[in-house]
Structure 1
């Protein structure tokens, strides 16, 4: 029996293996901000990674020189509705679930493998994580901010930093149950589209120590990663405290995975007779059972009368390779696009369709995005637009001359459709842009070239272009905030020159430039005040959120600063108040995360 379970479990949880191949107290005044609920080796220098995300290893991208050591690298979604947190530990005893479901396996932990709730998370400082005390000692406060953060962040680099913070091995403050805090971390990661990271947090807590809240989040994490077998250890507690019908279906699946057809059929029948859950969702569970020895008949899945894609439907359909109709894909929640990209058993066309958004959000690194495009183009008959895109991308990396490589990059940047797709194109060409010789003719304002490098974290390579850009251009502005070292002569007059070329609505780009320069300490206070007066912006505005992120920086809590920064970057860049960027950049710099602050600031000037 155990051998059958192992075989089926490995088949259904392949996302964990294959995905590795692609690769912030609301009372009186809300804490959340208002308005938000290969290059030529002869002349091309090798890209030097600065604050680039550290994603899981990805298949080889088109040939490019190996990056040299540079600035310190960074470690490298839905609003999922879940029950409220319960501070009490809802651990369950191993054994039978209830009458008719005695086929559940016992999940025993060998001696010495038990994990404590005092420190939870897989990423240590030695592997790129934050320090254990990064979130301070205010556990309930951190959990409340996490619950009230939507997961849809304006900044790709903000998401990369927040993911790193949430997955770090964090000490549990005495004011909260460690399993409850882990649940809020995982739930926020799910809303960010970070399904694999969310599951890693869930798996950092022994299942029999999971709180009621973590049990419910665990079910969502295993649905997001299309791994029904992963839910099995949580079934007893889920039946006791959660959505009974959904957990009964999970119990049936787990009984089937253990080879017991009787209990599986009994549980399915009971759910169907209750009439409390759509028959379509039951059929999906039966389809999973059909992949086990307990499956007695094939199940036909018809999507004709289904008008929305829920987490259950996504997880079960993906686990059994059931194609999801395009119209449902088009209306799926934004976070689910991240889940789709990270689920390797999903149809390649669906993954490619979701990939630009995932790359722009920070779910996919530049290397992982290029690798996914390359894999799709290697299919027997790739779509014509995809084949053309990848051929142009190949030219951006491998064309004989630097001029031809740059021309290929420009075609990708200008040929993309939506704003998300255009930024994703910059991400895809990051390594090629970093390897372009500085003697290449790139026009008077190569802001896209500079933006592409910084989208991939190649700040040292971008710095080499400083002598080539004209003061006051957009490229100059991006370099002024994104370069590892301050540019000489940054003044109110130069900001005014930049503003004179600013075509953004209400000169938002110029205001964000000033905010970033002030936050990074790269402009004299007098010049900053003069430029602020000219642009009509108040960087000193005080709100509860502004005070909170300033205080977190003063307490030297980088995790809390990253969380509050994310709360201040919900929505999109067009809604970003300049004082938010100022506070975020200043706070990140204050806790030793200046590289991340620079990348966020540069991204703002590229995307606005």
Structure 2
């Protein structure tokens, strides 16, 4: 029981400890609101914000079927309730407390406003406050219709940065509601810690019903049941009553009030609306606090899916989740798993490749996690072999040996996700490899590994070593900080001659990236497009919307629409989407991100 209580205390004390390890279908027309791209209230163009640099050794920023919204079998969804009126920004001690809310004890001067929400400022790597423009309902609608599963690692990294920036709240939406939509999208992306940052940026007594529902999901994703406690009164008044009764039981138990906790559990069980398995998990949490049944046994025999409630309760109390249930869980839960420091290390390592490939983990964080796992007693044989190769990739005396170790890691993956995750893990090692090393005639994986970590300055040093028209040349043609000489329709045709991708998709992506970056003349681009039978200028509501956002100088909206245009796998992303994404990002001052996305497309198809 002492071990259980310590485990719960670790979880409930706040999962910010994870920050020590972690560095910070296709946008089809059906996913966009009616009238998308033709708004009536288009504002005047804004000045281009100065792009902020994140800590990285290069000019690029460093970090990488539509599922339903993140929900729980016992929790409210992120769209529950209706928008509440914004609280008085200058609330005073004598203000009236609405039913279902708690009185906030901070003095008025210490309270946070709803007019600007988010932790990152331009000085700390965030976007400008006006990055999403002035149409809040418009932005929120796109967020709600975006599934969070993106083809591009760099697309996710950019969108996370945009969503956690300190953004001005437009007059057309309640700031708490917009925060709820931002946090909900981050949860669908697997970014549980970033979602918590947004939820905690709003004082809990100013949370709208939608944010209250999102807060429950956020704290479950972070395996922090105690975080739900401030929202219980509002949840009982406006949300899923049975779910919040379970939460109230946990909070009563944490306060040492066994009677109210037992009464709440009894009410939920007698209602018959909640699975007994979820109630047992709640009782397991209560048992760990000393305020409930201490010997609750959890059996997963008849449980076939992992919900956010089950994830949060099981992770907080160190209840093992069977491998079949964990494997079949939604993809975003793998991000939650790897970011939860109280999760079994083996489960975090198993979830890490997908988290690294998607951008939830940076290259440095991924390597740190593998190193920590390997340092435990009796690590798995496969993990020990992997970390041995990583050590050789970083520290072997000879450049050839280091490159051979990297190749072993890149070739060990059994899926495209694992292979790309390996390239993410070797990014810094690849950047440190001497240019004099013999790496063969087409080192596209080496260059792709560098660019997966944003090491574009290191990558461009390899230009003299690559053959024009090779895959490595294509990666550099779009990923380098400056254009390469001699980029013509002929060189694109030379590249396509060796293209083994389905339907020459890689060559089409190369042309889309070059055209979007303005690195190929218009006539040459038109000639190459004709040869490849691709229409980069195709017009849709989505294309008009992203270019309109670029014209208004709204980098946050462009980042959101870019991610919406890369939902699913790279093989399903139309080349004209990549063209508009790269072009729009370049026009709003995000050229580094545009280059990394274009290079990633060539590496992953």
TM-score of the aligned structures, taking structure 1 as reference length? 0.89
Q: Aligned in 2, Cα 1:326/1:577: closer, same or farther, shift over 3 Å?
A: same
Q: Is the 8 A contact 1:75 1:128 kept in 2?
A: no
Number of the residue aligned with 2:450 = 453
Query: Within 5 Å, which residues of 2 pair with 1:548-587?
Result: 548-587=545-584
| 1:253 Cα deviation from its structure 2 partner | 0.5
Which residue among 246, 258, 270 is the counterpart of 1:261? 258
Report the counterpart of residue 275 of structure 2 in structure 1. Answer: 278
Aligned to 2:41: none
User: Match for 2:474 among 472, 477, 490?
Assistant: 477
Query: Does the CA-based 8 Å contact 1:395-1:408 persist in structure 2?
Result: yes
Kept in 2, the 8 Å contact 1:15–1:342? The answer is no
Instruction: Identify the range of structure 1 (493-502 vs 70-79) with the bigger mean alpha-carbon deviation.
Output: 70-79
Check whether the contact 2:269–2:279 (CA below 8 A) recurs between aligned residues. Answer: yes
Alpha-carbon contact 1:51-1:599 (below 8 Å) kept: no
Give the match's secondary structure for 1:393.
Answer: helix
Asked if structure 1 preserves the Cα contact closer than 8 Å seen for 2:63 and 2:453, the reply is no
Instruction: Give the match for residue 404 of structure 1.
Output: 401
Distance in 1 between the 2:181 and 2:106 partners?
Answer: 25
What is the aligned partner in structure 1 of residue 234 from structure 2? Answer: 237
In the TM superposition, residue 299 of structure 1 has moved relative to its aligned partner by 1.1
Aligned partners of 2:283 and 2:293 also within 8 Å: no
CA contact (8 A) 2:86 2:174 kept: no
**CA shift for structure 1 position 241:** 1.0
CA distance in 2, matches of 1:52, 1:442: 31
CA distance, structure 2, for counterparts of residue 95 and residue 251 of structure 1: 19
Tell me how far 1:248 sits from its aligned partner. 0.3
Alignment partner, residue 343 of structure 1? 340
Q: Does 1:80 align with 2:77?
A: no
Contact 2:54–2:125 (8 Å) recurs in 1:
no
Shift in Å, 1:93: 7.7
Provide closer, same or farther for how the CA distance between residues 52 and 447 of structure 1 changes in structure 2, counting only shifts above 3 A. farther
Shift of 1:10: 5.3
SS in 1 for 2:212: helix
State whether structure 2 residue 285 is matched by structure 1 residue 295: no
Q: Of the candidates 140, 143, 158, which is equivalent to residue 143 of structure 1?
A: 140
Query: Is contact 1:321–1:345 with CA below 8 Å preserved after alignment?
Result: yes
Name which of 447, 463, 467 aligns with 2:464.
467
Q: Structure 2 matches for 1:119-134, cutoff 5 A?
A: 119-134=116-131
- Cα distance in 1 for residues equivalent to 2:433 and 2:32: 49
In the TM superposition, what is the alpha-carbon distance from 1:298 to its structure 2 partner? 2.2
Structure 1: how far apart are the matches of 2:103 and 2:285?
Answer: 21
TM-score, normalised to structure 2's length? 0.90
Shift of 1:304: 1.0
Cα distance in structure 2, aligned partners of 1:487 and 1:420: 30
| 1:379 positional shift | 1.0
1:259: Cα distance to partner?
A: 1.1
Distance 1:473 1:51 in 2: 33
Deviation for aligned residue 1:110: 4.2
Q: Does 2:584 align with 1:596? A: no
Which consecutive unaligned segments of at least 5 residues does structure 1 have?
1-5, 32-49, 55-66, 98-103
Q: 2:436 aligns with which of 434, 439, 444?
A: 439
1:341–1:358 CA contact under 8 A, matched in 2: yes
> Following TM superposition, by how much is the alpha carbon of 1:108 offset from its aligned partner in structure 2, in angstroms?
2.7
Equivalent residue number for residue 21 of structure 2: 22
Deviations 1:306-364 (A, max 9, x none): 11111000000001111111010110000000000000100011001100000000000
Distance 1:476 1:52 in 2: 26
Give 1:237 deviation, angstroms.
0.8
Distance in 2 (alpha carbons) for counterparts of 1:375 and 1:553: 43
Distance in structure 2 (CA, Å) of the matches to 1:150 and 1:341: 20
2:59 corresponds to which of 67, 71, 76: 71
CA shift, 1:290, in A, is 1.1
| Structure 2 gap segments, 5+ residues each | 38-50, 72-76, 88-94
Aligned equivalent of 2:11: 12
How far did 1:22 drift?
1.3
1:286-365 aligned at under 5 Å gives the runs 286-365=283-362
C-alpha distance in 1, partners of 2:53/2:434? 21
Q: Post-superposition shift, 1:113? A: 1.7
Describe the shift of the 1:9–1:117 C-alpha distance in structure 2 as closer, same or farther (beyond 3 A): farther
| Other-structure match for 1:545 | 542
Contact 1:93 1:208 in 2 (8 A): no
CA distance in 1, matches of 2:332, 2:325: 14
Counterpart for residue 41 of structure 1: none
Q: What is the match of residue 207 of structure 2?
A: 210
Determine the C-alpha separation between the residues in 1 that align with 2:98 and 2:133.
38
- Once the two structures are overlaid, the 10-residue window that deviates more, 407-416 or 289-298, is 289-298
User: Secondary structure, in 3 states, of the residue corresponding to 1:259?
Assistant: coil
Is the contact between residue 9 and residue 257 of structure 1 (CA under 8 Å) also seen in structure 2? Answer: no
Q: Distance in 2 between matches of 1:8 and 1:410?
A: 39
Question: What SS is found at the alignment partner of 1:291?
Answer: helix
How many Å separate the matches in 2 of 1:251 and 1:331? 30
228 and 493 in structure 1: CA distance in 2 versus 1, 3 angstrom threshold: same
Q: Give the whole-Å Cα distance in 1 for the aligned partners of 2:578 and 2:550.
A: 15
Mapped to 2, the partners of 1:326 and 1:542 lie a distance apart of 45
- Output the CA distance in 2 between the equivalents of 1:8 and 1:413: 36
Could you tell me how far apart the structure 1 residues matched to 2:494 and 2:60 are? 33
Q: Which residue of 2 aligns with 1:44?
A: none
In 2, Cα distance between the equivalents of 1:226 and 1:483? 41
Is the Cα contact below 8 Å between 1:360 and 1:420 reproduced in 2? yes
Q: CA deviation at 1:84?
A: 4.5
CA distance in 2: counterparts of 1:93 and 1:246, whole angstroms:
27
Q: 2:527 aligned with 1:530, yes or no?
A: yes
Q: 1:282 to 1:567 in 2, by over 3 A?
A: same
Taking the aligned partners of 2:395 and 2:82, their CA distance within structure 1 comes to: 56
Are the structure 2 counterparts of residues 494 and 14 from structure 1 closer, same or farther at C-alpha, using a change threshold of 3 Å? farther
Deviations, residues 73-116 of structure 1 (Å, cap 9, x unaligned):
3568963142356222498987997xxxxxx9965324422111
